[in-house]
Amino acid sequence: MREIVLDTETTGLDPLQGHRIIEIGCIELINKVKTGNVFHVYINPERDVPLVAYEIHGISTEFLTDKPKFEEVYEQFYNFIGDSVLVIHNAGFDMKFIRHHFDPHKVQILNVVIDTLELARKKFPGAKVNLDALCKKFKIDNSHRDKHGALLDAELLADVYIKMEGNTQAALEIANTTNQIQYTAMEIKRVNFTQRNFNIKSEEKQLHQEFMKKIKNPIW
Mean pLDDT value across residues 47-58: 95
pLDDT at 173: 41
**Cα 62 to Cα 31: distance, rounded to the nearest angstrom:** 40
Least confident of 78-82, 96-100, 110-114, 177-181: 177-181
User: What DSSP line would sit under the chain, residue for residue?
Assistant: -EEEEEEEEESSS-GGGT--EEEEEEEEEETTEEEEEEEEEE---SS---HHHHHHH---HHHHTTSPPHHHHHHHHHHHHTTPEEEETTHHHHHHHHHHHHGGGT------EEEHHHHHHHHSTTS--SHHHHHHHTT---TT-SS--HHHHHHHHHHHHHHHHH-HHHHHT---TTS-----PPPP----PPP---PPPHHHHHHHHHHHHT--S---
In the predicted structure, residue 171 carries a pLDDT above the cut 60: no
Torsion angles phi and psi, residue 27, rounded to 5: -120, 125
| Mean pLDDT value across the chain | 85
Average pLDDT over residues 178-195: 44
Choose the weakest-confidence range: 33-42, 60-69, 172-181.
172-181
Which residues have a catalytic role annotated? 148
Q: pLDDT grade, residue 52 (50/70/90)?
A: very high
Q: List the one residue out of 121, 7, 20, 1 whose CA is nearest residue 68.
A: 20
pLDDT at 47: 96
Q: How many CB atoms lie within 10 A of CB 49?
A: 23
